[in-house]
Amino acid sequence: MFIRGKKTALVTGASSGMGKDIAKKLIKDGFQVYVAARGVEKMTDLSALGARPLRLDVSKEGEIKTAVDTILAETGGVDVLVNNAGFGLYGPVEDIALDEARYQFEVNLFGAARLTQLLLPSMRAKRAGTIVNVTSMGGKIYSVLGAWYHATKHALEGWSDCLRLEVAQFGIRVVIIEPGVIETGFGDIASNNLLKRSAGSPYAGLAQKVANSIANTYGHGTGSPGTVVANAVSRALKAKKPKTRYAVGKYAKMLLGMRKWLSDRAFDGIIMSQTK
């Protein structure tokens, strides 16, 4: 049974991957943790560790409101909100229906925004709290056929920066986590959907090359474990003055550094070389 007064966190997208690792780390750090995802049945292991599972599709206003009402009724709010839920929509701009693109924004941006809106009042009342937004190195760089995914992550970066300035006066901190290549199901889902969407398209050849590149990059134990992201979240929460951004995982710091110092044309060449 969760109680008021104890450090409380909410982690979205906690049914797998980085979200599950973040939840486990926060439980270990002494938080009472609400874990939220569409598939509650995939969080039984977290429940066994003491977490409180909540069914939550972050694209649905009703489910967001129900989850927040539950948290407010039981604990009065959270000390930490980790907006981690998200997915990658890959495909040519010409081939992706705008309804699909809007859904990408609903999950990757507006779901986090709505949760933040509803949980901010209790943080303001305590004049304390931390909002952790998991973006991606893809929030600063770009890749072939990833227009809508990168658009959401770039948006979440800018939204987070503005939010940080707004809520600092209330003692609330905003931290951005920028994962690189992490061993999750991201690669398989992105490449499989890319190939289905672009079958018979003028971009089919390019889509196959990008899918091959994704397959070579993700999986096979070549990426970093999700625990590196969880550890970064933990460090940020323990820090008296956390960094604004934590770039963690394979390629994150390297690619962000290259994007910062290379010209657009040079960076384009490096990204396109992955499709040859």
Which two structure tokens, joined as six digits, stand for 270?
A: 């490096």
Place of tokens 């069914």: 55
3-state secondary structure of 170: helix
Residues paired with residue 134 on neighbouring β-strands, in sequence order = 177
Annotated active-site residue in 149, 203, 218, 246: 149
- State the burial class of residue 235 (Cβ atoms within 10 Å of its Cβ: 0-12, 13-18, 19+): middle
Crossing angle of the two packed helices 98-105 and 147-167, in degrees rounded to 10: 30
Which two structure tokens, joined as six digits, stand for 262?
A: 């290379």
Report the Cα 131 to chain-centroid distance in Å. 12
Place of tokens 């495909």: 91
Angle (CA) 98-141-258 rounded to 5° is 165
Say whether 149 is catalytic: yes
Q: Provide the annotated active-site residues.
A: 149
